[in-house]
Structure 1
């Protein structure tokens, strides 16, 4: 955890925020390992004595989620996973665990996200294949125009490329927030070492270890924390820009995500929202899908129409209060690599917003 980000962004207790709607500042607790400007192992502690929740800092990443014990129980095996497994032995382990194992599901995630975020930096990648997330972000930033000074929040940052690109487009701090520990670990390695290392799927459960040089001039202004996009652990209106690239259909409550973004953006600031409306019950209950389950309703199942009303104050019971669309939404092609012979093509819906 970079102290520059901690001191400037002043995170608050996510538990108090989620349960009581109160922004209680966090303070540094124990510091077990640190160097100049960064804490690698330690804790952050809620300043309210009635709560006093301790949030661990693991390998430089503070874990700031409302249900800390629930997240730790679900992800403990990932937090303690070895990082020194040789590439060949990783393949042997993957064969033994089998295609339906959590081990191979994680490798697939790393393969798809790692390739899209950093594959365009590999000379062996054909032009225009990887890098959809970069192109989508650039399209939104170009349309959004000038923004006030201030830090930037990258919600659902995944493998981190968007955070580095946001830093390159501005001159302030950028924070990437995500719940996925392996992806955040990939992002933090790029930040610290200037290289992206991830398993790239050939086919079946055959993977190659990909290593791509990924050095970004503004990396010193980026940090990555574990956090819930529905409960960003910050005081209201803390950011000049909030980006949420393909996150809306990955949360339990899309309206809650919109309200969280609405609350985080400073007056005059902006937000970028991209989504292919690719609903899954693993992430979002059917009842919370934006139009994707109601073909007999007023919007005839059109996700875009429901989202537009949610982004129009007063047009929906759960509408945001401050954000408003800037210009017309655009559709941006987005390619996801599954393996050597399988690529999924999305049309992601990109909305530019101002507060």
Structure 2
């Protein structure tokens, strides 16, 4: 955890935020390994003695989620996963675990996200194939226009490319927030070593390890934290810009995510939201889908129509209070690579917002 980010962004206790709406500052607790610039191993502690929740800092990543024990129980095995497996042995283990194992599910995630986030920097990738996330982000930023100076929040940052691009474009501090530990480790390796290393799926459970040089201007202004996009652990109205690229259809409550973005954006600030409305009950209950069901309702199941009303104060019972659309929304292709012979083509709906 970069101390400059901690001191500037002043994170708050996510448990207190989620249960009572209180923005209680976190303080440094135990520090077991640190330098003058960052904490590698330690804890952050809630400043309210009635809570006193202790959040671990693991490999430089603070884990700031409302249900800490729940997240740790589900992800604890990933925190101790070896990172020094030779490529050939990783393949041997993948064969042994089998295609339906958590090991290979993680490799698929790393393959798809790693390729989209950094494949455009790989000389072996044909031009224009990878990098959808960068193209969509750039289009949204260009349409959004000038923003006030200040820090940037990248919700659902995944493998981290958007955070680096935001640092280059804005010149401010950027914090990338995500719940997926392996993807965040990929992002941190880029931050610390200037290289993206990930398994790239060939077919079946056959993978090749890709190592791509990935150095970005302003990487020293980026940090990556584990956090819930619906409860970003920061004081209200802290960020000049909030980005949420393909997150809306990955949370339990899309209106709660929109309220979180609305609350995090500073006065005069902005936000960029991108989503293909690719709903799944694994992430979002059907009743919470924005459209995509209830075709007999007022919006005839049209996702973009429901989203537009949620982003218009007073137009929906769950509308946000401050954010409003800036110009017309964009629809842009977003390619997700599955393996050598398969890609999924989405049409991402991109909305630019202002407070």
Tell me the TM-score normalized by structure 1: 1.00
Aligned twin of 2:251: 251
Aligned twin of 2:285: 285
Cα offsets for 1:56-90 (capped at 9, x unmatched): 00000000000000000000010010111111010
Once residues 174 and 217 of structure 1 are traced to their aligned partners in structure 2, the CA distance between those partners, rounded to angstroms, is: 13
Aligned twin of 1:11: 11
Q: CA deviation at 1:36?
A: 2.5
Q: Please tell me whether residue 301 in structure 1 is matched to residue 301 in structure 2.
A: yes
Gaps of 5+ in 2: none
Q: CA deviation at 1:295?
A: 1.1
Q: CA deviation at 1:171?
A: 1.4
Once residues 292 and 101 of structure 1 are traced to their aligned partners in structure 2, the CA distance between those partners, rounded to angstroms, is: 30
Once residues 345 and 108 of structure 2 are traced to their aligned partners in structure 1, the CA distance between those partners, rounded to angstroms, is: 17
Q: CA deviation at 1:217?
A: 1.4
Aligned twin of 2:48: 48
Once residues 60 and 181 of structure 1 are traced to their aligned partners in structure 2, the CA distance between those partners, rounded to angstroms, is: 12
Aligned pairs, how many? 355
SS at match of 2:229: coil
Once residues 127 and 296 of structure 2 are traced to their aligned partners in structure 1, the CA distance between those partners, rounded to angstroms, is: 43
Q: CA deviation at 1:104?
A: 0.4
Tell me the TM-score normalized by structure 2: 1.00
Aligned twin of 1:90: 90
Q: CA deviation at 1:342?
A: 0.1
SS at match of 2:48: coil
Once residues 128 and 23 of structure 1 are traced to their aligned partners in structure 2, the CA distance between those partners, rounded to angstroms, is: 43
Shift >4 Å, 4+ stretches: none
Once residues 45 and 236 of structure 2 are traced to their aligned partners in structure 1, the CA distance between those partners, rounded to angstroms, is: 20
Q: CA deviation at 1:282?
A: 0.7
Cα offsets for 1:236-266 (capped at 9, x unmatched): 0000000000000000000000000000000
Q: Quote the RMSD (CA, aligned, Å).
A: 0.4
SS at match of 2:234: coil
SS at match of 1:188: helix
Q: Please tell me whether residue 343 in structure 1 is matched to residue 336 in structure 2.
A: no
Once residues 291 and 297 of structure 1 are traced to their aligned partners in structure 2, the CA distance between those partners, rounded to angstroms, is: 9
Once residues 311 and 107 of structure 1 are traced to their aligned partners in structure 2, the CA distance between those partners, rounded to angstroms, is: 36
Aligned twin of 1:190: 190
Gaps of 5+ in 1: none
Q: CA deviation at 1:177?
A: 0.3
Once residues 259 and 317 of structure 1 are traced to their aligned partners in structure 2, the CA distance between those partners, rounded to angstroms, is: 12
Once residues 36 and 337 of structure 2 are traced to their aligned partners in structure 1, the CA distance between those partners, rounded to angstroms, is: 39
SS at match of 2:207: strand
Aligned twin of 1:231: 231
Aligned twin of 1:325: 325
